[in-house]
Amino acid sequence: MRLLFVSFVVGIAILFISCDEVENLVNDTRDGKITAKEKLDEVMNAAQTDFSSDAMLAAIYGREVDTNGEIDLLNTSSFNAFVYTMQSDVLQRNEFYVPVFGAGPVKSPINFNTMLSFVKDSTAKNVMSTLFGRLATIAIDPNANYNDSPEVLDILFMRIDVNTFRTVNPNSKIDMFLVPSKSIDSTSVVNSADWIVNFYGDSTSLVLWINSSSGEIKNLGEI
């Protein structure tokens, strides 16, 4: 009798565990939304396997990020993605990766020229072109502590200039860039990571840089 009771309890436990696993699988297949940092470990593993064993994160590019700081891997109606720029000291070059829903990250044809094509402010574009040129030899400190994409947008949406720009340009889009602090500020002592956010319409951009050391927000078009 005791053996039967134990078997019954074990069976119930397995049933609940199985149900939880199925529920998690269903939830995963229903929602393809991710933040900038969510797939970073997967990308790192892929890059260190098929790019270079010393691969490190140099930058993250968020294309057409939504107002929650997310992109949807299941959205095929527009091109939205987080593109991870990996850097190798051994190879002295970069490789680009994107997460794929239901599979591992893959190499991406998107490059720095693609990223810059949506920056409509010429001054900001020149600044960013210069910092991109440094990413073959500079990576983000793996121990750096920085905000994820939703927290960054929460900060910027409190600004008057952002709200004004989005009101004047109701169909504007949002691109986000995470870059090594030293790539944009050579005086930075700690190589943490800074966010740059490009709010852009058909012909204009508002490009803001959040300095991770000071917390100061600057308009790259006015530097």
| Angstrom distance (rounded) from CA 185 to CA 108 | 28
> Comparing C-alpha atoms, which of 121, 124, 141, 118 is closest to residue 194?
141
Name the percent of the chain lying above pLDDT 90: 74
| Angstrom distance (rounded) from CA 118 to CA 110 | 13
Domain ranges of the chain: 33-222
Q: What pTM was estimated for this model as a whole?
A: 0.85
Q: Residue 22's pLDDT is what?
A: 39
Instruction: Inform me whether the pLDDT recorded for 139 exceeds 70.
Output: yes
Radius of gyration of the chain measured on its C-alpha atoms: 21
* Structure token digits, residue 130: 């210069």
> Comparing C-alpha atoms, which of 152, 193, 162 is closest to residue 65?
152
- CA angle, residues 121, 124, 127, in degrees to nearest 5: 150
Q: Residue 186's pLDDT is what?
A: 76
What's the pLDDT tens digit per position in 145-170?
Answer: 999 999 999 999 999 999 999 999 99
What mean pLDDT is predicted for residues 6-35? 49
pLDDT greater at residue 98 or residue 24: 98
